[in-house]
């Protein structure tokens, strides 16, 4: 039997519990206002010959959850994240 449910009911049984389990860094990204940014020490692995930062993936994922567009860079052990003031289509 198929039954309709509410979003609250789904969140109650979700193994991730919605936004409750976001890391402090992901929560900071989710809270960014247009034209604002954050930076914090990078604690993620870097992959491949070019050293692609795993933290930029975390930032992108956190932004997508909130339907935000961001720009991110890892430079000398610091992760910089900016939510542009205008969405670039």
Who wins on pLDDT, 29 or 88? 29
- 84 dihedral zone (left: phi>0; alpha: psi -120 to 50; beta): beta
Q: What pLDDT digit, counting tens, does each position of 16-68 carry?
A: 545 556 788 988 999 999 999 999 999 999 998 888 999 999 899 989 988 99
CA pair distance 81, 38, nearest whole angstrom: 5
Confidence label for 75 from pLDDT (cuts 50, 70 and 90) = very high
pLDDT greater than 80 at residue 12: no
Closest C-alpha to 52, from 73, 81, 38, 29: 73
What are the residue ranges spanned by the domains of the chain? 22-82
**Is residue 83 a contact partner of residue 66, using CB atoms and an 8 Å limit?**
no
């Amino acid at each position: 039997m198929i039954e309709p449910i509410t979003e609250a009911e789904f969140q109650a049984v979700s193994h991730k519990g919605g936004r409750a389990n976001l890391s402090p860094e992901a929560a900071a990204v989710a809270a960014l206002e247009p034209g604002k940014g954050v930076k914090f020490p990078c604690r993620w692995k870097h992959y491949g010959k070019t050293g692609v930062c795993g933290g930029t993936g975390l930032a992108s994922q956190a932004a997508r959850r909130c339907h935000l567009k961001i720009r991110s860079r890892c430079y000398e052990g610091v992760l910089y994240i900016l939510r542009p003031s205008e969405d670039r289509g």
